[in-house]
């Protein structure tokens, strides 16, 4: 289905099915909104009960409508919707906004109706927003369209806003308006029976009037498509996502060991980061982020200078920077000298630079120039002091001159007030897209968003095919196991699959007898680990089927006897005793688990008791880039344990990254693999080896 949303968003004629004279009703409000918003096209109300509605000729039935209608808005009883959709389609109306509720969101009858609607949409290739939605809004110099019952019609602007929720969408529109943030497009998706966020995302990414896209989502319609869209185009304009809803917790909940550590929200976090989307968590942060991103300038580092005429504000800002991981470095001697030359002796030349209450526009301008020379961004705090002889706009003008000379350095202004006294300064700065905030902490949050946006830009991109691998070999192993009716691989088979993806497995040997064992031990040396391996034995450790620290032949013999008893006791027909060399180094854990929504999810953590006690793990959604893999490794809290530490060499991260890449590729390429657990993997300064591997397949079709 080829989408063309131009006519949906810029219709030349709109039919309102269910239009009513009463402004208080939904059908009445929508018609009224369309009349009042400045829409220049033709408006055609449809209602069998009226000859005219709100001063417009009213059509008795859809069939009576003239041709050439680009969009129909349906606000009728749910029992009439499917019929109306068919009639619209017959009239050649391809674009529909279905306001009517009572579908999937409300019980079985509604769900069946929505299935029927879905079939109609597919059959007639319709472009449908909703059902159960507030409608759509377009506000630009060329088009004023409020095809919704929202009471707020934005004045237009660069933001395209796609919302899964109606009421919260309207709330946000109102907030954007209050904050002076210009919204040019608003889509309330409703139940997404037809069009989803991906269709609009694709459209707005190409729409040159859209400078930023904001999505409020409670779930993803199709995450893979979402990611593809963003990775194709996401670098061009910022995409900000407020993702709410713990309902996916259920969907992502998984039973395995790896899975039990998964916090599904952390997977959403990982996914959005990999998409290059900026995730915000609160409505407040949304506003802060959109304001900050308007200018489109991202900092190239984490050093900020704080200039202030009010000491307390500077301290509060510096504290907030420290909490957020933004550096407020002391200024160099040269910079301090240059500041000293014109600031009064009472000024404090550390960072924050407290220019005290007497600072005028010229001080702000000169000081800003000086401090920007050695930092990546600046926060300027200006609160008009009691005794102040200039118009406040002069401060804005001084700031703007320095901004034009430093086009690549973000600058955020804090006024410590929203009062009348600073409004003219704020307006002057907004004209040039310099963000202003009342509170120092908000300015710092904004800078933090810009820094995240910069990181995301640097992380984007993944190198497909960079990993040498023998997919067919691994595939054949998996198919052989499935053909035997099994859903779990033995250690040997798992090692075989891993090796096909380039991951090194610790030397091992199945010992048929003590003699046989001795030969293996001679080649690798004591101490030795012995364990039971058998198809379907997923919890060796819990079954006490692992014996470590075997240091001599007596112990080896004892261990073999004990494990053979366990095999007999558990009736593991194909059970064997597996011997491994004992490796020393840091214990790590890797995993892959297929998520019903996101596909293969990769996990990394530090092994041993720590991982279970601290749940200190990181996630990625396949495919992952090697830079993202490294980020996964570095982002766990216990990462310092992998660095040179108390005389231990730093762990070589490259092989760890390769295992993560391998797990991602394996998940994408061998669809029968449901889950992989590598626990532990032992790594030191030079070597990395998988010590245990469990691979579960999807149960073979019955």
Residue ranges with strand state E in 244-291: 278-280
Report the distance separating Cα 1 and Cα 80, nearest Å.
26
DSSP codes, 115-140: HHHHHHHHHHT-EEE-SS--EEEEES
Q: Is 646 in the site for a copy of itself (CB under 8 A)?
A: yes
Q: Three-state DSSP class for 591?
A: strand
Residue from 323, 432, 472, 698 in contact with a copy of itself (CB under 8 A): 323
CA distances from 5 to 20, 203, 229, 248, 336 (A): 27, 7, 16, 29, 56
Shortest distance in whole angstroms from residue 586 CB to a copy of itself: 10
Size of the residue set binding a copy of itself (CB under 8 A): 68
For residue 557, report the phi and psi dihedrals to the nearest 5 degrees: -60, -45
Helix, strand, coil share of the chain (percent; to 5): 40, 20, 40
Report the distance separating Cα 463 and Cα 624, nearest Å.
8
Shortest distance in whole angstroms from residue 22 CB to a copy of itself: 10
Report the distance separating Cα 436 and Cα 441, nearest Å.
12
Interactions with a copy of itself, residue window 399-418 (CB under 8 A) = 416-418
DSSP codes, 475-492: HHHHHHHHHTT-SB--HH
Report the distance separating Cα 529 and Cα 548, nearest Å.
5
Shortest distance in whole angstroms from residue 11 CB to a copy of itself: 23
Shortest distance in whole angstroms from residue 176 CB to a copy of itself: 13
CB-based burial label for 569 (10 Å; 0-12, 13-18, 19+): exposed
Shortest distance in whole angstroms from residue 608 CB to a copy of itself: 10
Q: Is 386 in the site for a copy of itself (CB under 8 A)?
A: yes
Nearer to a copy of itself, 437 or 508 (CB): 437
The piece of 65-73, 164-172, 404-412, 652-660 that touches a copy of itself (CB under 8 A) is 164-172
Shortest distance in whole angstroms from residue 345 CB to a copy of itself: 6
Q: Three-state DSSP class for 289?
A: helix
Q: Is 385 in the site for a copy of itself (CB under 8 A)?
A: yes
Residue from 13, 244, 394, 524 in contact with a copy of itself (CB under 8 A): 244
Q: Is 218 in the site for a copy of itself (CB under 8 A)?
A: yes
Shortest distance in whole angstroms from residue 387 CB to a copy of itself: 6
Strands laid side by side in the 377-381 sheet: 353-354, 304-308, 377-381, 411-414, 436-437
The piece of 240-248, 297-305, 468-476, 495-503 that touches a copy of itself (CB under 8 A) is 240-248
Nearer to a copy of itself, 97 or 460 (CB): 97
- Rg over CA atoms, the chain: 32
Structure tokens of 693?
A: 């591997």
**398 near 362, Cβ under 8 Å?**
yes
The piece of 19-27, 48-56, 189-197, 464-472 that touches a copy of itself (CB under 8 A) is 19-27
The piece of 160-168, 331-339, 463-471, 550-558 that touches a copy of itself (CB under 8 A) is 160-168
Nearer to a copy of itself, 419 or 507 (CB): 419
| b/e burial code for range 189-200 (CB count within 10 A of at least 16 → b) | bbbbbbbbbbbb
Shortest distance in whole angstroms from residue 439 CB to a copy of itself: 5
HEC-encoded secondary structure of 50-100? CCEECCEECECCHHHCCCCCCEEEECCCHHHHHHHHHHHHHCCCCEEEECC
Interactions with a copy of itself, residue window 98-157 (CB under 8 A) = 101-102, 105-107, 149, 151
Helix axes 361-372, 333-340, angle to 10 degrees: 170
**158 near 212, Cβ under 8 Å?**
yes
Contacts of 207 (CB under 8 A, 6+ apart): 160, 185
Number of Cβ within 10 Å of residue 471's Cβ equals 14
The piece of 371-379, 596-604, 641-649, 667-675 that touches a copy of itself (CB under 8 A) is 641-649
Residue from 362, 645, 650, 700 in contact with a copy of itself (CB under 8 A): 645
Q: Three-state DSSP class for 451?
A: helix
Residue from 80, 222, 233, 357 in contact with a copy of itself (CB under 8 A): 357
Q: Is 555 in the site for a copy of itself (CB under 8 A)?
A: no
Nearer to a copy of itself, 113 or 673 (CB): 113
Nearer to a copy of itself, 151 or 518 (CB): 151
Nearer to a copy of itself, 29 or 202 (CB): 29
Q: Is 640 in the site for a copy of itself (CB under 8 A)?
A: yes
Q: Is 216 in the site for a copy of itself (CB under 8 A)?
A: yes
Q: Is 315 in the site for a copy of itself (CB under 8 A)?
A: yes
Q: Is 63 in the site for a copy of itself (CB under 8 A)?
A: no
The piece of 54-62, 158-166, 499-507, 694-702 that touches a copy of itself (CB under 8 A) is 158-166
Residue from 29, 95, 191, 679 in contact with a copy of itself (CB under 8 A): 29
**161 near 185, Cβ under 8 Å?**
yes
Query: Any bridge partners for residue 600, and if so which?
Result: 594
Report the distance separating Cα 622 and Cα 636, nearest Å.
19
Shortest distance in whole angstroms from residue 700 CB to a copy of itself: 34
Residue from 3, 13, 25, 652 in contact with a copy of itself (CB under 8 A): 25
Question: Which positions from 593 to 622 touch a copy of itself by CB under 8 A, shown as an x/- string?
Answer: ----------------xx-xxx--------
Shortest distance in whole angstroms from residue 149 CB to a copy of itself: 5
Nearer to a copy of itself, 335 or 351 (CB): 351
Interactions with a copy of itself, residue window 257-296 (CB under 8 A) = 281-284
**596 near 251, Cβ under 8 Å?**
yes
Given the rule CB under 8 A, which residues bind a copy of itself?
Answer: 24-26, 29, 101-102, 105-107, 149, 151, 163-169, 171, 174, 178, 216, 218, 244-246, 281-284, 309-313, 315-316, 318-320, 322-323, 345-346, 357, 383, 385-387, 416-419, 439-442, 609-610, 612-614, 637-638, 640-641, 645-646
């Amino acid at each position: 289905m080829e989408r063309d949303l131009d006519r949906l968003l810029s219709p030349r004629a709109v039919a309102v099915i269910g239009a009513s004279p009463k402004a208080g009703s939904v059908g009445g409000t929508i018609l009224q909104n369309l009349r009042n918003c400045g829409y220049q096209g033709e408006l055609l109300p449809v209602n069998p009960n009226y000859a005219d509605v709100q001063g417009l000729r009213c059509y008795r039935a859809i069939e009576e409508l003239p041709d050439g209608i680009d969009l129909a808005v349906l606000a009728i009883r749910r029992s009439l919707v499917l019929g109306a959709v068919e009639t619209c389609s017959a009239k050649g109306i391809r674009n529909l906004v279905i306001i009517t509720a009572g579908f999937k969101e409300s019980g079985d009858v509604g769900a069946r109706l929505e299935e029927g609607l879905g079939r109609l949409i597919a059959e007639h290739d319709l472009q449908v927003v909703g059902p159960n939605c507030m409608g759509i809004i377009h506000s630009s110099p060329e088009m004023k369209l409020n095809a919704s019952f929202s009471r707020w019609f934005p004045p237009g602007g660069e933001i395209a806003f796609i919302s899964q929720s109606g009421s919260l969408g309207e709330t946000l529109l109102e907030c954007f308006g209050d904050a002076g943030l210009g919204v040019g497009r608003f889509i309330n998706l409703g139940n997404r029976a037809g069009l989803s966020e991906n269709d609009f995302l694709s459209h707005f990414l190409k729409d040159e009037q859209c400078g930023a896209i904001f999505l409020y989502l409670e779930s993803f319609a199709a995450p893979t498509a979402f990611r593809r869209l963003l990775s194709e185009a996401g670098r061009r304009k910022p995409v900000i996502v407020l993702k709410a809803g713990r309902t996916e917790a259920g969907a992502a909940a998984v039973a395995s060991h790896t899975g039990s550590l998964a916090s599904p929200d952390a997977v959403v976090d990982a996914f959005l980061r990999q998409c290059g989307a900026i995730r915000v968590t609160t409505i407040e942060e949304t506003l802060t982020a959109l304001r900050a991103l308007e200018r489109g300038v991202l900092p190239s580092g984490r050093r900020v200078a704080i200039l202030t005429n009010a000491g307390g504000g500077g301290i509060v800002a510096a504290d907030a920077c420290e909490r957020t991981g933004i550096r407020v470095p002391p200024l160099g001697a040269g910079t301090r000298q240059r500041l000293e030359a014109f600031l009064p002796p009472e000024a404090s030349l550390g960072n924050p630079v407290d220019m005290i209450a007497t600072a005028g526009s010229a001080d702000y301008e000169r000081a800003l120039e000086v401090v920007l020379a050695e930092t990546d961004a600046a926060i300027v705090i200006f609160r008009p002091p009691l005794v102040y002889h200039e118009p406040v706009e002069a401060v804005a003008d001084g700031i703007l001159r320095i901004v034009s000379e430093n086009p690549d350095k973000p600058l955020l202004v804090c006024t410590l007030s929203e009062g009348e006294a600073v409004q003219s300064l704020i307006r002057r700065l907004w004209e040039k897209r310099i963000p202003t905030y009342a509170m120092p902490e908000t300015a710092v949050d904004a800078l933090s968003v810009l820094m995240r946006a910069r990181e995301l830009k640097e992380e984007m991109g993944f190198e497909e095919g960079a990993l040498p691998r023998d997919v067919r070999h691994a595939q054949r192993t998996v198919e052989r196991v499935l053909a035997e009716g099994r859903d779990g691989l033995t250690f040997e088979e798992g090692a075989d699959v891993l090796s096909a993806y380039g991951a090194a497995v610790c030397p091992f040997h199945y010992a048929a007898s003590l003699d046989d064992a001795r030969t293996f031990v001679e080649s690798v040396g004591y101490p030795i680990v012995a364990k039971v391996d058998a198809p379907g034995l997923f919890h060796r450790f819990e079954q006490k089927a692992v014996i470590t620290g075997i240091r001599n032949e007596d112990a080896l013999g004892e261990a073999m006897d004990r494990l053979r008893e366990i095999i007999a006791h558990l009736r593991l027909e194909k059970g064997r005793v597996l011997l491994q060399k004992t490796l020393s180094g840091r214990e790590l854990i890797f995993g892959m688990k297929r998520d019903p929504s996101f596909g293969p999810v990769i996990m990394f953590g530090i092994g041993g008791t720590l991982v279970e006690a601290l749940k200190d793990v990181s996630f990625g959604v396949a495919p992952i880039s090697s830079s993202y893999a490294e980020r996964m490794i570095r982002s766990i809290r216990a990462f310092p344990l992998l660095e040179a530490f108390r005389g231990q060499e730093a762990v070589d991260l490259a092989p760890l990254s390769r295992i993560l890449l391998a797990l991602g590729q394996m998940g994408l390429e061998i669809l029968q693999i449901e889950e992989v657990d590598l626990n532990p993997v032992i790594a030191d300064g030079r070597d990395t080896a998988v010590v245990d591997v469990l691979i579960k397949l999807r149960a073979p079709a019955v």
